[in-house]
Structure 1
Amino acid sequence: MNDNNAYVFEEPLIEGLILKRRNRFVLEVQIEGSTYDSHCPTTGRIGDIVLSNIPCLLSRSKDKARKTPFTVEAISLDLPSEEPKHWIGINQNAANRYVEHFLKNGSLSMMVENNNEVLREQKLGVSKLDFLVGDTYLEVKTPLLHLQVEYGSHIKTQKMSPFNSTDRFVKHINELANSLEKNQRAILLNCFIYDNPGFRVSVKSTNDNLVKTQVEKSIQKGVEIWQVNFRITQTKVELIRYFPINIS
């Protein structure tokens, strides 16, 4: 369910408390005194925080047979007792649904023209990119390895090791660059489901130089880098702002 100004959830999200992260896919969450195994939609790290005693928002699965009846959609780094809370969306799959909504209602008209057909998951070369809007390929990334927000002293952190899963990103940005042989524009959209001040890469990867070189080559070929910030609440997702990023 949605409207012109926001992506509205079919049912309001439920507030809970993450007790611990059992593995990549499962979070133990307390909801109104009961503990449930809940799906974690982000299999990688979420910043350098320890997911313990962390407030969260959850959606209820429509699949009654699913082992995890809830999905964690957002977390808060505020104290559990603090109100109102500031939420950070962590569902990277849902980010594409939000982007699609605002593409179709014309809210991102400074980035892509209105009235273009919006197609999802379009095959390009050996990749499948997120959107084709008119003649513009658009790939959405939702970085969560570094949360660009201030932490309170109550937040536990852990040492972070270098990130090494960059093959998919390199493949996609090269496909975007190659698409410019037949299309006018190609966009890499960094999507944040919180008000990120301006994306910066602070978590190094084991092949950092290769990634940097590929990004620079793609930009030289004409790939545009944009950022969009959303705000998630228990009832909806709103567009805060979006803007081009100049990476020099």
Structure 2
Amino acid sequence: MGINNDAFIFETPLIEGLILRRRNRFIMEVAIDGVIYDCHCPTTGRIGSIVFRDIPCLLSKSKDMTRKTLYTVEAISLDLLSEPNKSWIGINQNAANRYVEHFLKNGQLSAMVSSDIVKREQKLGHSKLDFLVGHTYIEVKTPLTTLQVEKKDHITTSKGSEFTSFERFIKHIGELEASLEENDRAILFICFIYDSPGFRGSTNGKYSSYIRETVESSIKRGVEIWQVNFKITPTEVNLIRYFETTKDILNNGAAKN
């Protein structure tokens, strides 16, 4: 669903750099105007199967000049460094909630949920869910372990270890399901900070069937699944489109059984 867009504007435009390598889960070494900096990587998990060697990126600069990592990598590109009009993939999963909040408060996600009351990080059961909009709880997830974009010839990939940290996801979708005892709706909001055609989870891992069955069970009890695609540039984040995928996930699950 496309709409007229009131963009999320960065207070200070993002800076373009070049990732030389990802030293560990938290640190990327980035060249900015010929100087190499240790930069904060805002997601500790795998980002696709990308080998981070000469990967263009966008960075935000902290106002705290005493911070150990002055820059945060906000987005990466799988285009060549020489490409003047790069496509960017946002990797800051925490920032995704700020973007969602902006568009919720501006009423630009009104086909999904509409209310003047938008609350962040609301306690529910033993969890804190990302949003309570009116009487609807919303949990935002930003998948990065699989990137649903074309990987060009110059991109090197490697086979990483299987992702196994599903406990938090299982807990949150369980809390969403439980919220339906007192509320009419609960939404799992899959957020891509790039234009993804549609969410596709892993089907090969040893945990994939368990995750799929958990999601399908929650859907059958009333949890809705929606997807949003954002576009990030050095100056702003725009809402490309958002749509419900509840039936698609159920149908895909049935096709695999």
Report if aligned partners of 2:25, 2:44 keep a CA contact under 8 Å in 1: yes
Q: CA deviation at 1:218?
A: 0.5
Q: Is the 8 A contact 2:202 2:208 kept in 1?
A: no
SS of aligned partner of 1:80: coil
Are the aligned partners of 2:18 and 2:54 in contact in 1 as well (CA < 8 Å)? yes
Normalising by structure 1, what TM-score?
A: 0.96
**Are 2:198 and 1:198 equivalent residues in the alignment?**
yes
1:147, 1:139 → 2: CA distance? Answer: 20
Number of matched pairs = 244
Q: Which runs of 4+ in 1 moved over 6 A?
A: none
Match of 1:161, SS state, is: coil
- Could you tell me how far apart the structure 1 residues matched to 2:205 and 2:63 are? 37
Match for residue 65 of structure 2? 64
Matched, 1:46 2:47: yes
2:254 is matched with which residue?
A: none
Task: After superposition, give the CA deviation of every residue in 1:52-75 in whole Å (9 maximum; x if it has no partner).
Answer: 100000000111111111000000
Does 2:150 correspond to 1:150?
Answer: yes
Question: Which amino acid letter does the alignment assign opposite residue 244 of structure 1?
Answer: E
Q: Does the 8 Å contact 1:193/1:231 carry over to 2?
A: yes
Distance 2:64 2:111 in 1: 38
Q: Is the 8 A contact 1:227 1:242 kept in 2?
A: yes
**What one-letter code is carried by the residue in structure 1 that aligns with 2:73?**
V
User: In the alignment, is the contact (CA less than 8 A) between 2:230 and 2:240 conserved in 1?
Assistant: yes
Aligned equivalents of 1:23 and 1:161: distance in 2? 14
Aligned residue runs from structure 1 range 1-248, under 5 A: 5-113=6-114, 115-202=115-202, 204-245=204-245, 246=247, 247-248=249-250
Alpha-carbon deviations, 1:147-186, whole Å to 9, x = none?
A: 1000111001001332110010000001000000000100
| Contact 2:203–2:209 (8 Å) recurs in 1 | no
Flag the 1:175–1:205 CA change in 2: closer, same or farther, 3 A: farther
Following superposition, the deviation at residue 228 of structure 1 comes to 0.1
Name the CA distance, whole Å, in 2 between partners of 1:89 and 1:107.
Answer: 20
Take 2:209 and 2:149, find their aligned partners in 1: how far apart are those partners?
A: 26
SS at match of 1:109: coil
Structure 2 gap segments, 5+ residues each: 251-257
The one-letter code matched in structure 2 to 1:24 is: R
Q: Is the 8 A contact 1:163 1:206 kept in 2?
A: no
- C-alpha displacement at 1:208, in angstroms? 2.2
Over the matched positions of the two proteins, sequence identity in percent amounts to 67
Instruction: State the TM-score, normalizing by the size of structure 2.
Output: 0.93
Gaps of at least 5 residues in structure 1 are none
Distance in 2 separating the partners of 1:190 and 1:74: 18
SS at match of 1:97: helix
1: CA distance, partners of 2:203 / 2:188: 19
